[in-house]
Structure 1
Amino acid sequence: MNKIFEESNQVALIVNEFGRFDVDSHIMNQTALSVSMLQGCICCDLQDDLVMQLHQLSKQEVQHVVIEATGIANPIELLSACQDPIISNVYEAPLVITIVDSKRLLQNENTEATETLMDDQIRASHRLILNKIDLLNSDEARQEVIQYVSQLAPYSQIDLAIYGEVKESVKHGQATIDKVNLSTSHPHTHYEVLSYDFTHPISHEQLVQFILNMPDSILRMKGYVQFREFPNEIYLLQYSGGLPALESMGDMKLPTTVVLIGEKLDKPALKNKLELLQFG
């Protein structure tokens, strides 16, 4: 996102988090025009708020608006919101870009609800970025992923990426807003969120063990942590598709909070385990 803001100062960003804590806003370019929408999903329960935010942004010197939806959002609902009569004459038809976890896509560990959501996200996209393509162990697996998304989104552009950086385009897109058709039914009742605030530095080794032993019901983990072993640094923690990642943020003053999203979370048990990371 910071790259986008570096290229233009007429871009606004709307960030949506299903929980109460916005991780990304703390590391965004501080000169960027950004709006946080928390504790809900802008594709359903916050959709009216999204329309009003877009209406307010249209009154400012903004040429483009980037909407970073939560990972459990259905893009077709966002397309619907952007066609609201209040703003339809102000904004051009939106472009939906979806980043796909290539490795997770081939795993048969998702629930039926999550599988349906992932397929809907792919179908609704004008451009698909197949990330983590380097983690596929064969050309056959790579072709399987490409074929799978091509069947779901035959008009979409498909790019291959490593660490989010596009390395190769394998199909040019012809998708338009009228070529992405799917149901707009999108219940969130099976997804839950848990936010936890650390008050002390935690053990790096114990965090690794926590992640290795997390239940499959946890789909996403994101936030900031401070380790006893490296007390002078704050780290951005991200977990998705079974793969954790840590990035040093140096000595930035950031809230040490983590957010977990998943299905049927055992919140008391998870809170106890997180508590042990700092006091165990």
Structure 2
Amino acid sequence: MSQTPASNETPASLARVPCTIVTGFLGSGKTTLIRNAIENAGGRRLAVIVNEFGDVGIDGEILKGCGIEACPEENVVELANGCICCTVADDFVPALDAILSRPGIDHILIETSGLALPKPLVQAFQWPAIKGRVTVDGVVTVVDGAALADGRVAADEDALAKQRADDPSLDHDDPIEEVFEDQIACADLVVLTKADLLDEEGLARARATVDAALPRACAVVPVAEGRLDVGIFLGLGVGTESDIENRRTHHDDEEDHDHDEFESFVVTLPEIDDPAALAARVAAAAELGTVLRIKGFAAVRGKPMRLLVQGVGTRVGHHYDRPWRTDEARTGRLVVIGLAGLDRDAIAAALLPAPLAA
């Protein structure tokens, strides 16, 4: 027998909460896009689930530092225990339960790690415990326009090209290209970032690469510094979970997948004196082996603000993002992500400042 809803339940409160899945390769600009959405929410009350590869949640810390009423710190849930597409039942469902227990959430943003395949996550929205409460408003795939213009999907693939040349069997089993193509295959909208770094010819090359990978018609929007009107990518209303089986990917015939091709580790930094010198060390470390991404925080001596460092290949940016809290140690942390086999000692040595002469 059906039951009549209680008088305080409106049609809006009974509707499924829309979720936007933001996916894309390492360093493509996902966190910047989401932060812009938080800062320009247009009256929406947002929640964010952020998933990272490795044990240190740098992106979650960036988003928690926004201080925006539309998405308070308690509405940012971090999953740093592994790729969300591999741990849906263990990590994603409890995180979703926690968010849905909070009143007044209008929209949920889910930032996957750069190594995640979006399809298994979208498929989870068909589970009975989930499907009645949330829906996939759309999958937004973020791609690095500057890298694509140079013929790559990541900022530094020189080491990968050498590995591929040394082992012809990798020609048909490139984990980076497969991840990129699987993310594109699931897209309802493609956001092409770093457009400000491209001239017309570069933008055309990047767009051609995306178009070649798209299996169907899909809007591609170039942006600079993550500035995209939230009305463009929130409220797509696609219900992607209903169509996800039609979106073919490289891993459709696998029961599961792993990320043995990738690894990450953390380098702890003492206080530094010169942000520019640290950026130079990050750029130098990125050239050691198959490093894909270096990101994290540093404490600058005499400065009350925390320094945020973002490195994609040899492109390194840094800025002060928030004051250090009185209850946290002024200790820097950099997360290094790359292909398996990283020379951790050499990379750590490159990142750490040279010891003072006796």
Place the TM-score, normalised by the shorter chain, in its bin. 0.7 to 0.9
Query: Contact 2:275–2:318 at 8 Å: present in 1 too?
Result: no
1:257 aligned partner: 333
Q: In the TM superposition, what is the alpha-carbon distance from 1:17 to its structure 2 partner?
A: 1.6
Q: In the TM superposition, what is the alpha-carbon distance from 1:279 to its structure 2 partner?
A: 5.9
Q: In the TM superposition, what is the alpha-carbon distance from 1:241 to its structure 2 partner?
A: 4.5
Structure 1 residues 3 and 115: CA distance shift in structure 2, 3 A: closer
Q: In the TM superposition, what is the alpha-carbon distance from 1:202 to its structure 2 partner?
A: 5.0
Q: 1:88 aligns with which of 131, 140, 147?
A: 131
1:24 aligned partner: 59
Query: Contact 1:233–1:250 at 8 Å: present in 2 too?
Result: yes
Query: Contact 2:135–2:239 at 8 Å: present in 1 too?
Result: no
Query: Contact 1:220–1:240 at 8 Å: present in 2 too?
Result: yes
Asked if 1:221 is matched to 2:297, the reply is no
Alignment of 1:78-227 (within 5 A): 78-105=121-148, 106-108=150-152, 110=157, 111=160, 112-137=174-199, 139-153=200-214, 154-166=216-228, 177=240, 178=243, 179-182=246-249, 183-184=251-252, 185=254, 186-213=257-284, 214-215=286-287, 217-227=290-300
Q: Which has the larger radius of gyration?
A: 2
Q: Structure 2 CA distance, aligned partners of 1:174 and 1:152?
A: 23
Unaligned runs of 5+ in 1: none
Structure 1 residues 189 and 130: CA distance shift in structure 2, 3 A: same
Structure 1 residues 4 and 134: CA distance shift in structure 2, 3 A: closer
Q: In the TM superposition, what is the alpha-carbon distance from 1:207 to its structure 2 partner?
A: 2.2
Structure 1 residues 223 and 125: CA distance shift in structure 2, 3 A: same
Runs (4+) off by over 6 Å? 173-176
Unaligned runs of 5+ in 2: 1-33, 161-173
Q: Secondary structure at the match of 2:180?
A: helix
Alignment of 1:3-14 (within 5 A): 3-6=36-39, 7=41, 8=43, 10-14=45-49
Q: In the TM superposition, what is the alpha-carbon distance from 1:87 to its structure 2 partner?
A: 0.3
What is the CA deviation profile of residues 175-207 of structure 1, one whole-angstrom value per residue up to 9, with x for unaligned ones? 763253212454210111111222322543542
Q: 1:69 aligns with which of 100, 112, 116?
A: 112
Q: In the TM superposition, what is the alpha-carbon distance from 1:236 to its structure 2 partner?
A: 0.7
Q: 2:94 aligns with which of 44, 52, 69?
A: 52
Q: 2:312 aligns with which of 240, 244, 247?
A: 240
Q: Structure 2 CA distance, aligned partners of 1:136 and 1:100?
A: 14
Q: Structure 2 CA distance, aligned partners of 1:104 and 1:239?
A: 13
Q: Structure 2 CA distance, aligned partners of 1:51 and 1:244?
A: 35
Structure 1 residues 278 and 48: CA distance shift in structure 2, 3 A: farther
**Match for 1:50: what amino acid?**
F
2:24 aligned partner: none
Q: In the TM superposition, what is the alpha-carbon distance from 1:45 to its structure 2 partner?
A: 3.4
Q: Structure 1 CA distance, aligned partners of 2:322 and 2:110?
A: 27
Structure 1 residues 123 and 187: CA distance shift in structure 2, 3 A: same
Q: In the TM superposition, what is the alpha-carbon distance from 1:250 to its structure 2 partner?
A: 5.3
Structure 1 residues 205 and 63: CA distance shift in structure 2, 3 A: closer
Q: Secondary structure at the match of 1:29?
A: coil
Query: Contact 1:104–1:241 at 8 Å: present in 2 too?
Result: no
Q: In the TM superposition, what is the alpha-carbon distance from 1:41 to its structure 2 partner?
A: 0.8
Q: Secondary structure at the match of 2:266?
A: strand
Q: Structure 2 CA distance, aligned partners of 1:127 and 1:164?
A: 14
Q: In the TM superposition, what is the alpha-carbon distance from 1:101 to its structure 2 partner?
A: 0.5
**Match for 1:194: what amino acid?**
F
Query: Contact 1:221–1:260 at 8 Å: present in 2 too?
Result: yes
Q: Structure 1 CA distance, aligned partners of 2:237 and 2:131?
A: 22
- TM-score normalized by structure 2? 0.68
- TM-score normalized by structure 1? 0.84
Q: In the TM superposition, what is the alpha-carbon distance from 1:4 to its structure 2 partner?
A: 3.7
Query: Contact 2:279–2:318 at 8 Å: present in 1 too?
Result: no
Query: Contact 2:138–2:237 at 8 Å: present in 1 too?
Result: no
Number of equivalences: 274
